Chains A and B, each alone.
Chain A
Amino acid sequence: MVTAVRDDMFTPDVIADPYGYYGRLRDEDPVHWNETYALWVITGYDELVWLTRHHEFFSSAVFKNDPRPPYPAIDESDLGLYDYVRNYQGDQFIQHDRPEHLEMRRVVHGYFTPKSMEAWRPFVQKAVKELLDAAEEKGRMDVMRDLATPLPVLVIAQMMGVPEQDRPYVRQLAEKLLYIGRGEYDRMKPLTEGMKGMIEYVSPLVDERIANPGDDFISVLASGEKQGVFTRHEVLVNTSLLLLAGHETTINLLCNGTLAFLRHPDQWALLKEDPAGRAKLATEECLRYDSPVKSIQRIASQDVEMRGKAMRKDERVRWFISSANRDPQKFANPDRFDITRWPNQHVAFGSGTHHCLGATLARVEGQEVFKALAERFPDLEVATADLEYQPSITFRSLRSLPVTWQ
């Protein structure tokens, strides 16, 4: 039974420690009706896996299929802006169900296979080396600003053929798009500015690749238009989506993972014994222990029962990766950071047909960063006692992570 769990998920204590709040829900009421936001909160591992693998019951077309105003509430005069957000989000391939989702995913899936991503490893290694060279020379580093942000931006921009001088601008737009997971009542303004800015920015790039296709990822998306799978607006929106998704979540993996190591000196010592050999499983544990994405939403596409609770068609369902990855029924000593854990069936990338398209790329970037840090900065330490997180229910994002070394 739930002993009056309060339903506000945007308060500073829940943002600072999602594991306490969602962990308690998972243990007491893993399929919980949140009255405040009128949505189901799914926090158990088995429940999450079942839900994500039954896509026929839970629609991913969240924006198209949800007639209600956004939560938390927004300024009423911004409802017009919200319509723009719905149209924009609705054209993302991840906001579709089968059969359209499969058709769209097939356009982009082949670009991200484990084998093709492995070919990018040398590029990632070189980029990590250059960023760490620069940090070493300066003698200090904010892992967020100097490593975790520039690395994935560099990689995805390279894949998409975005000119180097434009990358800071793309990052600025991306930061506005992150308002999607936040609670401020006036968030629609920066959010739509980011969306419109992205569309405007990628339009000429897409035009050019449609005329002269290359081997970059925008050309892959553009080929979807030629095949009749994507409209032009869908190509533009998905180019923007991949630019954002291709780096935002990896930023969090790199920062949260580095922080986990520095807070667990025994595991940091273990990684340093054999960085190349241990980086792979260690990255999986970083993904599990402090996952980059906290939660994702669906809409029930029919009446469905879960754990004896009756969910009705069109109700919102939000599933929480953070609590599922700490579920004691799935993981032994779930709150322990253990970089040798295997098997490690975490759900940091979701599961089922919508499993993260860029998972392998994120893994490669994580492995190379943790390996290089262990090799080059063995006495790394967190330089502050006050770490703050962005007030998002979607992303687990530090604002900064300053570190020092001898």
Chain B
Amino acid sequence: MARKLRVRVDHDVCVGNAMCETFAPRVFRLDENRQSVAVDPAGDSVEKILEAAENCPVSAIFVEDAETGEQLFP
């Protein structure tokens, strides 16, 4: 059973660079303001999601384990 994640994008800092969409296209989608939203935290692998978070140029993505609450990124 894959690890369940909670993924959040902080819209106070997201600039719509859209790199997250490139790394994990099934998880991140741009909303009508062209800011990223985590639509399905199970859409791509944990590795891809962490890669997307690390490549966010403004560190707007937060990832934690949904069951234990352990912070995985940053």
Contacts and interface: CB of A to CB of B under 8 A. Distances in A.
Q: Do A and B come from one complex?
A: yes
Interface of A: 53-54, 102, 106, 109-110, 112-115, 343, 345, 349-353, 355-357, 359-360
Given A102-B22, A359-B57, A345 B34 contact: no
17 contacts: A102-B22, A106-B22, A109-B19, A109-B55, A113-B54, A114-B57, A114-B59, A343-B13, A345-B12, A345-B13, A349-B15, A351-B15, A352-B34, A353-B16, A353-B18, A355-B15, A359-B57
A283 to B, nearest CB: 14
A113 B16 contact: no
Residue in B17, B22, B55, B56 whose Cβ sees the most chain A Cβ within 10 Å: B17
B12 A113 contact: no
A356 B58 CA distance: 10
A106 B22 CA distance: 9
Nearest to A360: B57
A360 B19 CA distance: 15
B34 to A, nearest CB: 4
Contacts of B68: none
A261 B41 CA distance: 43
Nearest to B12: A343
Nearest to A102: B22
A81 to B, nearest CB: 35
B16 A351 contact: yes
A45 to B, nearest CB: 13
Contacts of A356: 57
B57 A112 contact: yes
Identify whether the interface residues of B are mostly helix, strand, loop, or mixed: loop
Interface in B51-74: 54-59
Contacts of A351: 15-16
Interface in B11-35: 12-13, 15-19, 22, 33-34
A359 B59 CA distance: 11
A278 to B, nearest CB: 18
B57 A53 contact: no
Interface size class of chain B, counting residues whose CB lies under 8 Å from the partner chain = 10 to 19
3 closest residue pairs by CB, A with B: A53-B34, A343-B12, A355-B17
A114 B59 CA distance: 7
Contacts of A112: 57
Contacts of A54: 34
A113 B34 contact: no
A365 B57 CA distance: 16
Contacts of B13: 343, 345
Contacts of A113: 54-55, 57
Residue in A343, A350, A353, A356 whose Cβ sees the most chain B Cβ within 10 Å: A353
Contacts of B15: 349-352, 355
Contacts of A106: 22
Nearest to B73: A115
Contacts of B54: 113, 115
A352 B17 contact: yes
Contacts of A353: 16-18
B16 to A, nearest CB: 5
Contacts of B55: 109-110, 113
Contacts of B34: 53-54, 352
A54 B19 CA distance: 15
Contacts of B12: 343, 345
A93 to B, nearest CB: 14
A102 B20 CA distance: 12
Contacts of A102: 22
A115 B34 CA distance: 24
Given A115-B54, A353-B17, 17 more contacts: A53-B33, A53-B34, A54-B34, A109-B19, A113-B54, A113-B55, A113-B57, A114-B56, A343-B13, A345-B12, A349-B15, A351-B16, A352-B15, A352-B18, A355-B16, A355-B17, A355-B58
